[in-house]
Amino acid sequence: MYQIVNESIFNRRLLFDETAKDMDISGPTVEKDFWVCFFLDILFHQSQDATRFCFKGGTSLSKGYHVIRRFSEDIDLILDWRLLGYSRDEPYDKRTNTQQEAFNDVVNEKTEEYLATSLMPNLKSLAEKYVGESVRFHIGNDDRQTICIAYPRLFHDSYVIPEIRLEIGALAAWTPFTNTTIQPYVAEFFPRRFKQADTVIRTVQAKRTFWEKAVILHKEAHRVKGKVPERYARHYYDLYMLSQTPTMDEALADVELLNTVASFNQKFYHSSWAQYEDATLEKIRLVPSSETTARLAEDYLSMQDMLFGNKPSFDVIMEGLGKLESEMHELGAITTSFPAHEQ
């Protein structure tokens, strides 16, 4: 990847343009994807705390597992809370909801300080070795746990913002995880132009992301006030797409992981209305109210430029999630009726 940065502007743009034509997506999207992979390689293989991060979320499903066809400017990453001075199990200590909120606030403050004073300067120094001062870093104005990287763009597009967002939080779990291999789209079509076409990234296993998406949908199905956050339709798309792959079977075979995800959310992100205690195989809800569904349909329509390849209609997605919910309930009923024999 690194020699591509030093290609002439003409050659680099030509590579991005040709890749975009072959994939039927925009040149700015191909360009941004390249920089996403470039900075992930720096973070996981050159940064001072390279072993303390794990890749997660929708972008990992797209780049690491190839189970969805959605582009995202946001890169979700987990920071090992031991880097902030906590033991492996200390955050799990029993606390009241008020005490847990106070603990979370302290963890978040420590995370923000680490990102601003340690990680961002380190990444900036490393990036400038390859790109010079044409790359700019700053902490997100709307989220102090986000490092924003403005890369030197070759295209001007009103939709694709020439900035990558590393959203890094410590209050997340990353087990089970594995190593995935990611590479930029341009390397798939022009592999001979790369000495290093890919990079190996520590990544949360897709079956955990399956259950995390399911628990998000369960929470939204119980929302009684306020609107669903913007761009939340992506979670419905992601879970539907996962349900069309072997990842669903892996997840359904590991129901304990669902319980782990729900319990984590109940502890660290307690909500009086989310009903995480009912996020079980027998009771989980994936389909929201008709009012919420209508809002999500509009949200899904607005994110079409982020999708490529197979773009299922929102009706198909909701129908599929309804079937998935029923399948989970049926499996839960069977599991309850025929408990495992004690050893």
Residues 230, 84: one domain? no
pTM of this structure: 0.93
Task: Check residue 305 and give its pLDDT.
Answer: 84
Task: Check residue 343 and give its pLDDT.
Answer: 35
pLDDT in tens, 69-107: 988 778 999 999 999 999 999 999 999 999 999 999 999
pLDDT in tens, 257-316: 999 999 999 999 999 999 999 999 999 999 999 999 999 999 999 998 889 888 999 999
Confidence of residue 342 (pLDDT cuts 50, 70, 90): very low
Task: Check residue 339 and give its pLDDT.
Answer: 56
Residue 90 lies in a domain: yes
Res 1 pLDDT > 90: no
Contact 244, 206 (CB under 8 A): no
CA–CA distance, 122 with 104 (Å, rounded to integer): 25
Confidence of residue 232 (pLDDT cuts 50, 70, 90): very high
Q: Which of 163, 185, 204 is the last residue of a domain?
A: 204
pLDDT in tens, 143-198: 999 999 999 999 887 678 889 999 999 999 999 999 999 999 999 999 988 988 89
Res 126 pLDDT > 90: yes
Residues 298, 274: one domain? yes
Residues 122, 215: one domain? no
Angle of helix 97-114 versus helix 255-268 axis, rounded to 10: 90
Residues 49, 166: one domain? yes
Q: Which of 147, 180, 204 is the last residue of a domain?
A: 204
Residue 15 lies in a domain: yes
Res 340 pLDDT > 80: no
CA–CA distance, 151 with 29 (Å, rounded to integer): 13
Residues 172, 295: one domain? no
- Higher-confidence position of 335 and 215: 215
CA torsion through residues 117, 122, 125, 128, sign: negative
Residues 159, 244: one domain? no
**Domain of 61, in residue numbers:** 2-204
Contact 312, 243 (CB under 8 A): no
Residue 339 lies in a domain: no
Residues 195, 259: one domain? no
Res 337 pLDDT > 70: no
Q: Which of 149, 177, 204 is the last residue of a domain?
A: 204
CA torsion through residues 65, 68, 72, 78, sign: negative
Q: Residue 231's closest CA among 296, 180, 318? A: 296
Task: Check residue 132 and give its pLDDT.
Answer: 87
Tokens (6 digits) for 238? 């992601």
Q: Within 13 Å of residue 341, how many CA atoms lie on the same side as its CB?
A: 1
Residues with Cβ within 8 Å of 314's Cβ and at least 6 positions away in sequence, in order, are 233, 236, 296, 297, 300, 301
